[in-house]
């Protein structure tokens, strides 16, 4: 297939609209959430609005924002990550929503609690201890506070309040960060959840906290307001970790979340083209869609020739083709594709793909993380 044929195929596959509850996404390209710490005091400013609006103007159908802290003292670990509470921060988010909509895109905030990934003494609330299901860090050591029932109730309420606020501000949905070893994922993973109450035990029991957050958010917003759930097998610092070793275990994880009201699952992998289980070439998003019956978003090194781990080593990522992605999307293995570093490197990545200008794509360099271009 020559370059013009590939470009026409990409435009056809990726330019289709997609309906999710009451939302119509103008195409199949989403911007993946990427923490960049450009919000002093937790307040996203006009520069952050410009950053997101440029990607929307560049053809991205759905912006999923960087993680933003819910209103709980132990939720964060940086004073420069945006928060989703307080009049000053919410005014900033209101401006971001308006800018993205004016540029033709749709947008959802990613609601976040870092749990045991919090560093003791870190801002925005230095006195708040790292908190998690069992006070166990990702490397297995005791490092913080074991959450009480009151703590759990407070966090669930914080997520629900944030979801309601997102709808009030005009966002098009919300995403709950349940991946990568942060708080919700810490409850899902046996490595960090050693509880003996109703929130611990087998995989189904370990989903209770996540399902209660989903249900609370679902109840706090309109019935047609999308609630996405981001999930992963791997954790920051443990890329071999797995929540579910078999499709049967994965189904046990997905069922309570689906029943609680998840609209779609955002399935984070390091390489989108790798099969999740033996005897099938389905990736994680493919399996989740097959088992849950819900729409899914795939992500993982799309459009680049190395995975994100290289970013932390200062490595440059060259441009790569997306034929394997198009093959999978034509089979409806998943519904949307989230682009991360490629969109940091090139705000017009989507437009260039749609228009066949692949020769103009800009490679990703780690120094771009320090720029708001």
pLDDT digits (tens, 9 = 90+) for 138-192: 888 878 999 999 999 999 999 999 999 999 999 999 999 999 999 999 999 999 9
Element (H, E) at 352: helix 349-354
Tens digit of each residue's pLDDT (9 = 90 or more) over 192-204: 999 999 999 999 9
162: tokens are: 């944030």
Is the pLDDT at 1 greater than 90? The verdict is no
93: tokens are: 């988010």
Number of H helices, E strands in the chain: 13, 12
| Average pLDDT over every residue of 297-305 | 87
With contact defined as beta carbons under 8 Å apart, do 77 and 114 qualify?
Answer: yes
Tens digit of each residue's pLDDT (9 = 90 or more) over 268-288: 999 999 999 999 999 999 999
117: tokens are: 């990934």
Tens digit of each residue's pLDDT (9 = 90 or more) over 316-332: 556 778 999 999 999 99
Distances, alpha carbon 357 to alpha carbons 11, 112, 314, 353, in Å: 11, 36, 27, 6
Is the pLDDT at 310 greater than 60? The verdict is no
Which residues are marked as active site? 182
pLDDT band (50, 70, 90) for residue 29: very high
With contact defined as beta carbons under 8 Å apart, do 7 and 358 qualify?
Answer: yes
With contact defined as beta carbons under 8 Å apart, do 12 and 5 qualify?
Answer: no
Homologous superfamily in CATH for domain 3-370: Aldolase class I (3.20.20.70)
294: tokens are: 């819900």
Would you report the helix, strand and coil content of the chain in percent, each value rounded to 5? 40, 15, 45
Distances, alpha carbon 346 to alpha carbons 123, 156, 299, 350, 353, in Å: 31, 37, 17, 9, 11
Tens digit of each residue's pLDDT (9 = 90 or more) over 233-263: 999 888 899 999 999 999 999 999 999 999 9
Q: What is the pLDDT of residue 312?
A: 45
């Amino acid at each position: 297939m020559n370059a013009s044929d590939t470009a026409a195929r990409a435009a056809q596959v990726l330019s289709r609209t997609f309906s999710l509850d009451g939302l119509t996404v103008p195409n199949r390209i989403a911007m993946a959430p990427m923490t960049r710490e450009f919000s002093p005091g937790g307040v996203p400013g006009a520069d952050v609005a410009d950053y997101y609006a440029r990607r929307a103007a560049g053809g991205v159908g759905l912006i999923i924002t960087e993680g933003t802290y819910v209103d709980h003292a132990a939720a964060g670990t940086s004073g420069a990550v945006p928060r989703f509470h307080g009049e000053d921060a919410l005014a900033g988010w209101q401006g971001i929503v308006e800018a993205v909509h004016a540029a033709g895109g749709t947008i959802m905030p990613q609601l976040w609690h870092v749990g045991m990934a919090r560093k003791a003494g870190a801002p925005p609330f230095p006195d708040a201890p790292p908190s998690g299901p069992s006070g166990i860090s990702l490397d297995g050591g005791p490092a913080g506070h074991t959450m009480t029932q009151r703590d759990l109730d407070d966090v669930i309420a914080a997520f629900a309040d944030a979801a309601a606020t997102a709808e009030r501000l005009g966002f098009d949905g919300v995403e709950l960060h349940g991946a990568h070893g942060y708080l919700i994922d810490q409850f899902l993973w046996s490595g960090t959840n050693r509880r003996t109450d109703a929130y611990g035990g087998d995989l189904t029991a370990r989903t209770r906290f996540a399902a209660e957050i989903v249900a609370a958010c679902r109840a706090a917003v309109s019935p047609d307001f999308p609630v996405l759930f981001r999930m992963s097998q791997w954790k920051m610092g443990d890329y071999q970790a797995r929540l579910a070793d078999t499709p049967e275990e994965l189904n046990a994880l997905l069922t309570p979340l689906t029943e609680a009201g998840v609209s779609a699952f955002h399935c984070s992998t390091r390489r989108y083209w790798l099969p999740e289980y033996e005897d099938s070439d389905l990736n994680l998003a493919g399996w989740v869609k097959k088992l849950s019956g819900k729409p899914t978003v795939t992500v993982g090194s799309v459009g680049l020739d190395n995975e994100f781990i290289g970013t932390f080593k200062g490595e440059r990522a060259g441009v790569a083709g997306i034929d394997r992605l198009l093959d999978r999307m034509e089979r409806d293995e998943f519904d949307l594709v989230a682009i991360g570093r490629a969109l940091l490197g090139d705000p017009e990545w989507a437009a260039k793909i749609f228009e066949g200008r692949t020769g103009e794509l800009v490679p990703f360099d780690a120094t771009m993380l320090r720029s708001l271009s």
